[in-house]
């Protein structure tokens, strides 16, 4: 099956140019103007549209067991919804229960993810510490294609880890050539504030943001950054929601520290007024952590993306339906934390990013695909439109529009945090492994077609480079016999 995408403007992180893209055997074979269509090739007319690397969502939680229930979206429906929105790869999370084997959890998540219809990979959460965890991290890097380890600094009495574990695990990441990632909220402060707020008789969703003020996030972000700095470990902070965490990242980056930050599409557009909505279900549907923030934080996050101080966008797609959210009907701390967005991220970011002039099309590609591919070491296989890369592409119609709604979305959840939002800029075609999986409003996905994508450790790349350089260095070139 070969495919020629003809007449479009290819947009990459580097720039844009009128070019056709020819794909065969699941990879890009040629990029250039006026390509011929070999006999039998399918031709997609991309005239007047952009051809970009398929979106990479580096933060999802399909069918996550969490807070006494399981996220409603599974790996098939979630990767299908991603295709409908122009995203062609997700990086999800293996989250072992504390005191359980990381390798066993990894195998469990691999089994769950086999039904995916598009490519996927996993960060692995370090939710406890022991010599076994130390060894398993090595196995995961060397034999399972994992190069990123997650640490929850919140969720006390569940998956939160103390500083001691952060230190040991970050040091192990540095040793292995892996990147440490964190959910940065001070879980002890959250727990204390939750008890205080409940004591005052506040049990509704309005209590959620009160228990997780921005300072709680800023403190944890800074703490993780300083630990990583002392240990020389690269660090990626997920779902930065406020000025306090971004300021910590900017300071570190100005000092030359290797710290990366992620922003969620939700945090870029939704503010904390949602928690004061009179309808309990509406407010509870927005309970996620860190919470949606006061409005001024959105512009701050946009500026951080524009300035390159935040590098990626994601969704933290972790869906719970109304009956699940109702588990916290009398106690907001029992409302399962999480919201969706995997289908809407790309259009929301194009409309509010490129559509407003905040982002150029190339910057859009960087923050929705290429930067994540580079940070998690799968570039240029992913996140590029280049010969040899996987044929994961999106044909983007900048004039197309749609209204986002739970009534029409493909996400397996009964709520949409972007409900009613009109967006201009939509995928006319999504191509996964060279196959058109979304076309003019119709999914054409195959359960199980998705592949697990190995992500090599970083120093292995440096070792490879070192070998290449050594081979080139003058010392290794046999000297001509003296004249
Ligand atoms: O914290 C996370 O990233 C997971 C558990 C999803 N839930 C959330 O509220 N962000
Ligand atoms: Zn989180
Ligand atoms: Zn998450």
User: What tokens appear for 353 in the block?
Assistant: 């990013």
Residue 377 domain-assigned (yes or no): yes
Which atom of ligand 1 lies at the shortest distance from residue 154's CA?
Answer: 1
**Which has more pLDDT, 435 or 475?**
435
User: What is the pTM (predicted TM-score) of this model?
Assistant: 0.95
For ligand 1, the distance from its centroid to the CA atom of residue 98, given in whole angstroms, is 17
Which ligand is the nearest neighbour of the Cα of 182?
Answer: 2
Task: Indicate whether 204 pLDDT > 50.
Answer: yes
Q: How many domains does the chain have?
A: 1
Alpha-carbon span 336 to 322, nearest angstrom: 10
| Residue 393 is assigned to a structural domain of this protein | no
Q: Is 119 within 8 Å of 454 (Cβ atoms)?
A: no
pLDDT at 478 over 70: no
Q: Is residue 36 part of a domain?
A: no
Contacts of 215 (CB under 8 A, 6+ apart): 244
Structural domain of 284 = 55-385+454-461
CA of 412 to the centre of ligand 2 (A): 20
266 within some domain = yes
Place of tokens 């709520």: 415
With a Cβ cut-off of 6 Å, ligand 1 is lined by 61, 66, 183, 288-289, 316, 318, 337-338
pLDDT digits (tens, 9 = 90+) for 276-330: 999 999 999 999 999 999 999 999 999 999 999 999 999 999 999 999 999 999 9
> Rounded distance, CA 218 to CA 45, Å?
47
Residue with CA at minimum distance from ligand 1 atom 1: 289
Query: Within a domain: residue 339?
Result: yes
pLDDT tier for residue 483 given thresholds of 50, 70 and 90: very low
Say which ligand is closest to the CA of 73.
Answer: 1
**What's the sign of the alpha-carbon dihedral 373, 374, 375, 377?**
positive
pLDDT given at position 481: 47
Q: What is the model's pLDDT at position 463?
A: 58
Reported as a single tens digit per residue, the pLDDT across 438-471 is 998 999 999 999 999 999 999 754 455 566 667 7
User: What pLDDT is attached to residue 404?
Assistant: 99
The whole-chain average pLDDT of the chain stands at 96
Report the residue among 338, 341, 342, 417 best suited for mutation to probe ligand 1: largest number of ligand atoms under 8 A from its CB.
338
Domain-embedded: residue 444: no
Distance between Cα 37 and ligand 2 center (Å)? 46
- What CATH number is attached to the domain comprising 235? 3.20.20.140
**63-119 pLDDT, tens digit each:** 999 999 999 999 999 999 999 999 999 999 999 999 999 999 999 999 999 999 999
Q: What is the pLDDT of residue 440?
A: 87
Residue whose CB lies within 8 A of the most ligand 1 atoms, among 152, 216, 316, 319, for a mutation test = 316
Does a structural domain hold residue 21? Answer: no
Question: If you measure from the C-alpha of residue 300 to the centroid of ligand 3, how many angstroms do you get, rounded to a whole number?
Answer: 21
Mean pLDDT for the stretch of residues 131-137:
98
Task: Give the ligand 1 atom nearest the CA of 64.
Answer: 5
> Which protein residue's CA is at the shortest distance from atom 9 of ligand 1?
288
pLDDT of residue 459: 73
- Does residue 223 sit within a domain? yes
The predicted model gives 365-384 an average pLDDT of: 98
């Amino acid at each position: 099956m070969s495919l020629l995408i003809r007449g479009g403007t290819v947009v990459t992180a580097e720039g844009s140019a009128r070019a056709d893209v020819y794909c065969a055997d699941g990879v890009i074979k040629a990029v250039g103007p006026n390509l011929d269509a070999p006999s039998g090739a399918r031709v997609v007319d991309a005239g007047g549209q952009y051809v970009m690397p398929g979106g990479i969502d580096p933060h999802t939680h399909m069918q996550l067991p969490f807070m006494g229930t399981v996220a409603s979206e599974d790996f098939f429906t979630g990767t299908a919804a991603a295709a409908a929105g122009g995203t062609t790869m997700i990086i999800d999370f293996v989250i072992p229960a504390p005191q359980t084997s990381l390798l066993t959890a990894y195998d469990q998540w691999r089994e769950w993810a086999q039904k995916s219809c598009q490519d996927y990979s996993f960060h692995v959460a370090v939710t406890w510490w022991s010599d076994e965890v130390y060894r398993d991290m090595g196995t995961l890097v060397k034999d399972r294609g994992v190069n990123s380890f997650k640490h929850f600094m919140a969720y006390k009495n569940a998956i939160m880890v103390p500083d001691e574990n952060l230190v040991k695990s970050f040091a192990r990441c540095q040793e292995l050539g892996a990147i440490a990632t964190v959910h940065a909220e001070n879980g002890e402060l959250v727990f204390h504030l939750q008890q205080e707020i409940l004591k005052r008789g506040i049990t509704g969703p309005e209590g959620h943001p009160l228990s997780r003020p921005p300072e709680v996030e800023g403190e944890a972000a800074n703490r993780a950054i300083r630990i990583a700095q002392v240990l020389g470990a690269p660090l990626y902070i997920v779902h930065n929601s406020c000025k306090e965490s971004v300021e910590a990242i900017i300071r570190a980056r100005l000092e030359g520290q290797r710290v990366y930050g992620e922003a969620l599409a939700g945090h870029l557009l939704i503010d904390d007024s949602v928690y004061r909505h009179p309808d309990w279900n509406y407010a509870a549907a927005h309970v996620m952590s860190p919470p949606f923030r006061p409005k001024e934080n959105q512009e701050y996050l946009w500026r951080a993306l524009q300035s390159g101080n935040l590098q990626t966008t994601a969704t933290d797609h972790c869906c719970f339906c109304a009956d699940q959210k109702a588990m916290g009907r009398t106690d907001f701390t029992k409302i399962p934390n999480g919201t969706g967005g995997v289908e809407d991220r790309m259009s929301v970011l194009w409309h509010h990013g490129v559509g407003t002039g905040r982002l150029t099309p190339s910057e859009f590609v960087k923050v929705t695909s290429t930067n994540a591919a580079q940070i998690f070491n799968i570039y240029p296989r992913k996140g590029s439109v280049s010969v040899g890369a996987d044929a994961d592409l999106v044909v983007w119609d900048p004039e197309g529009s749609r209204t986002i709604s739970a009534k029409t979305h493909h996400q397996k959840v009964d709520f949409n945090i972007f409900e009613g939002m009109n967006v201009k800029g939509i995928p006319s075609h999504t191509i996964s492994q060279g196959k058109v999986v979304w076309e003019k409003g119709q999914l054409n996905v195959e359960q199980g077609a998705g592949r697990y994508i190995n992500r090599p450790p970083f120093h292995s790349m440096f070792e490879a480079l070192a070998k290449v350089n050594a081979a080139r260095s003058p010392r290794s070139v046999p000297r001509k016999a003296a004249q």
